[in-house]
Structure 1
Amino acid sequence: MNKLLLTLSSLLVASVTAISAHAQDAKAGETKIAMCIGCHGIHGYKASFPEVYQVPMISGQNAKFITSALNAYKKGERKHPTMRGIAETLSDQDIADVAAYYEAHGKVEGAAAPAAAPAPSAKVAELLTKGGCVACHGADFNKPIDPSYPKVAGQHADYLFVALKSYKTEGHATWGRANGIMGGVAKQFSNAELKELAKYVSSLPGDLKTVPQKRFR
């Protein structure tokens, strides 16, 4: 299973690298986030589709991953009506700039590195091994093996649970995610097991945060 994941990972990295060829301008990105801050710039903001969960923290996320995610929404590979509607308004250059902005957003020069990750329980450790999670997301889930993969340490547990379930969803017109790697991983687990994984990963220290905006633009 892990060998298959690594093979698929290499193919995905190559395709994402090709998508990310546009020069990124974080300063320009700051002028293009009006449709982002109403959800991602408010502490505790919750989405209600397809169920209630906290929207993901994206400040501090890898730019290459944000780029690939927005392109996936744009193409319909990630099915979410609101996110697809937003992504379709963005050019490739807009996406590159927004991604660069959020990667740098909230970073503090000289800030201490995240604390060491707590050890998982025996049950969670078994689930992590079964899924081969560290093969892409890294041992501490905050330094993926390639920036085209997301940092997930410290991400909201309810969001992680909904996201993981979405990779198991097939044949739904408005919800689900088409990703060969994550689909193969998520389908190995029951929803109860996915919730256990999400809870553990959420407990880990990481770079992700929500940074409130001073004003809407």
Structure 2
Amino acid sequence: MNQTLTTLFALAVACATASSHAQEVKGDVQAGKQKIAMCIGCHGIAGYQASFPEVHKVPMISGQSGKYIAAALLAYQKGERKHPTMRSIAESLSEQDIADLAAYYEQHGKSAAERPTASAREPGARVAELMQKGDCVSCHGAQFSKPTDPAFPKVAGQHADYLLVALKSYKAEKNARIGRSNAAMAVAVKQLSNAELKALANYMSGLEGELRTVPQPLFR
């Protein structure tokens, strides 16, 4: 690992460590199940699309790492992630709420029918070069489904259009409504063009992963 990539990985670990304090509050799955009313209107509808900052499918969060969900909600709460809708929702949550929601969604995808195990899909030469340039595997793990720290997201099988929007958001600067503050991700994405980010997003989306959208009724 060269000096730039070593620095990048160190930044990622530091960010993960700094955001992990929400996990000190123990989450309760059953309590989380009673707190998802604001989540299911977007994340509980298969194929549902958001329109900000551009049209894209909302991310699948069932089966995502609970530690990552907690870290993401805290980042929205603090304004480190600037999506207006997500920030307003996150600001209404207590640390216990965040821990409960994280615990619920981490196990939620596992209650759905398991997908068949697929063989690893090797990247083409161009994508392999981009992955090496961004040092993606050092955080997100092999096949992008087993992060090296649970505070990092699983991205295998995630919607490609969402992944592209998320990656581009780390490039945004001095914008009150768009952008994500993460030093490691900023270093990784700013060296790549949007076309290159799209190629990465398409590859990650095509991998077999644990993420799902599990349809949830509005009235239970």
TM-score, reference length from structure 1: 0.96
Q: Is the 8 A contact 1:154 1:208 kept in 2?
A: yes
Alignment of 1:171-210 (within 5 A): 171-210=174-213
Aligned partner of 1:118 among 108, 117, 121 = 121
Summarize the Cα distance change of 1:190–1:81 in structure 2 as closer, same or farther, 3 Å threshold: same
Q: How many residues align?
A: 217
Summarize the Cα distance change of 1:114–1:151 in structure 2 as closer, same or farther, 3 Å threshold: farther
**Amino acid in structure 1 at the alignment position of 2:55:** V
Runs of 5+ unmatched residues, structure 1: none
Summarize the Cα distance change of 1:105–1:130 in structure 2 as closer, same or farther, 3 Å threshold: same
Aligned partner of 2:15 among 12, 17, 37 = 12
**Amino acid in structure 1 at the alignment position of 2:207:** L
Give the structure 2 partner of residue 149 of structure 1: 152
Alignment of 1:89-108 (within 5 A): 89-108=92-111
Q: Is the 8 A contact 1:114 1:206 kept in 2?
A: no
Q: Is the 8 A contact 1:114 1:207 kept in 2?
A: no
Identical-residue share of aligned pairs (%): 60
Rounded to whole Å, the distance in 1 between the matches of 2:155 and 2:184 is 16
Rounded to whole Å, the distance in 1 between the matches of 2:108 and 2:185 is 27
Structure 1, residues 11-43: CA drift from partner, whole Å, max 9, x if none? 123212323210110110000010000000001
Aligned partner of 1:213 among 209, 212, 216 = 216
Aligned partner of 2:85 among 77, 82, 93 = 82
Tell which deviates more after alignment, 109-118 or 121-130: 109-118
Q: Is the 8 A contact 1:25 1:96 kept in 2?
A: yes
Give the structure 2 partner of residue 66 of structure 1: 69
Give the structure 2 partner of residue 51 of structure 1: 54
Higher helix share: 2
SS in 2 for 1:106: helix
Aligned partner of 1:28 among 23, 31, 36 = 31
C-alpha displacement at 1:108, in angstroms? 4.0
